[in-house]
Each structure stands twice: as structure tokens, then as C-alpha cells.
Structure 1
Amino acid sequence: MARFQEMNREELQREIKRLSEENARLTLIGETSHQAVIEQRLYLAKSYLVNPSEYELNTWYHVEGFSGCFELKRLNGVMGWGNWENSWEEVAFPLARLIEIRDCCSTGSCS
């Protein structure tokens, strides 16, 4: 199996469709640990179809599947690095998982 970075757009789209179907199937049967791995691979594959220049540094994002606010500090390939509101610990997420928000209130909820 080819690595995502070696796939062309059409191959990525086919793989995203396959992973989406697998993710839905695993969710339906309650295979949460395997489903989490497939979900992460799905977001990684999707991240190869986004343009990293569309993501702004020092901007707040909602991370799909998580609560709270994430501030994007730097990019490395298809990964966005930053930290959660009120935390200094640096974490990374696939870019396709980030949704820009206008503001992040101090309670940790996004608006």
C-alpha cells in the first residue's frame, strides 16, 4: 500500500472513501479502539488534500472530535502544532481536523 504522500488526488479520494466506509462500519459494531486508528488515518489522508497555506498561525481552531479551543502555532507538513487553551503542552493534529473559529472564551468553549 502506498503512503499518503505518494498518492495522487484520485488515489487519496478513493482511500478516503474506503476509510470512511471502514470507520462507519467499525463505529456501528462498537470496535472503538480500531475505529479510532481508522479515524486518525482518515484525517491524515484528508490532510493531504488541503492547502497548508490556508491555515493561519496564532489562530484559534476547533478540533473535530474534541472539545475546547486549540491555538495553531506552527505547521509541519500536514500536521498543525499548537496548544489547547490554558495549556503549555504542545500537541499536533492533522490539518483536516482543524476548523477555524472566531474567538475562544476562557471557559474553553468555542464560539
Structure 2
Amino acid sequence: MSRYSEMSKLELYSEMQKMIGEARKKHQAGFISEANILEQKYYLAKSYMMNPHEINKGGQYHVAGEHGVFHVKYLNGVFAWGRFPHSEEDEAYPIGRLEPVTCGTAKSE
């Protein structure tokens, strides 16, 4: 298997479709942990299809599967590092999990 960083957009898209399909099957079969791992691989592959320059340092984002607003401090490759308001520790998420907070969509803490 190739590294995501070495794959073409078409290969990444194919990999994403495969991962999300397998994750659904695992989830339906009750293998939740395995489904979660496949979902993480999906978001990582999605991250390599994105332009990291579109993620704003200091920006606010929703993170798929998490509650609250994530404040991006910096980027390292395809990972965004930052904090949720209720946390004192930095966390990292693949940029493929981030969705920009738009006016009226910020969820209260």
C-alpha cells in the first residue's frame, strides 16, 4: 500500500470510498472500534486531498465527531493543532475533520 502523501487525487478518492464503505459494514456488524479506525483513515486520506493553506491559523472550526469549537493554533503537515475552549492541552486533528465555523453555526459550550 502506498502512503497517502504519494497517492494521486483519484487514488485518494478511491481509498476514501473504500474506507467509508468498510467502516459502515464494521459498524453494522458491531465492530465499533474497527469502524472508528477506518473512519480515522478516511479523514486522513481526505486531509491529503485538501490544501492546508485553506486552514486559517487562529480560525475556528467544528471537528467531525467532537463537540464545541476548535481554535487552530498552528499546522504541522495535514494536522491542525489547537484547543477547545474547555481544554488546557493542545490537540491535533487531521484537517479533513475540520469544518469552518460560519455565522450562526457556533455551538454553545
Alignment partner, residue 45 of structure 2: 45
Alignment partner, residue 16 of structure 2: 16
Residue type of the partner of 2:52? Answer: P
| 1:95 corresponds to 2:98 | no
| 1:82 corresponds to 2:82 | yes
Moved over 6 A (4+): none
Alignment partner, residue 4 of structure 2: 4
**Aligned mates of 1:66, 1:86 — CA distance in 2:** 13
Alignment partner, residue 59 of structure 2: 59
SS at match of 2:49: coil
Q: How far off is 1:39 after superposition?
A: 0.7
What is the count of residue pairs matched by the alignment? 107
User: Quick one: percent identity of the two aligned structures?
Assistant: 37
| 1:28 corresponds to 2:54 | no
TM-score normalized by the length of structure 1:
0.90
TM-score normalized by the length of structure 2:
0.91
**Aligned mates of 1:20, 1:86 — CA distance in 2:** 30
**Aligned mates of 1:46, 1:23 — CA distance in 2:** 15
Q: Deviation per CA, 1:26-65, whole angstroms, max 9, x where unpaired?
A: 1111111111111111000000001111111111111011
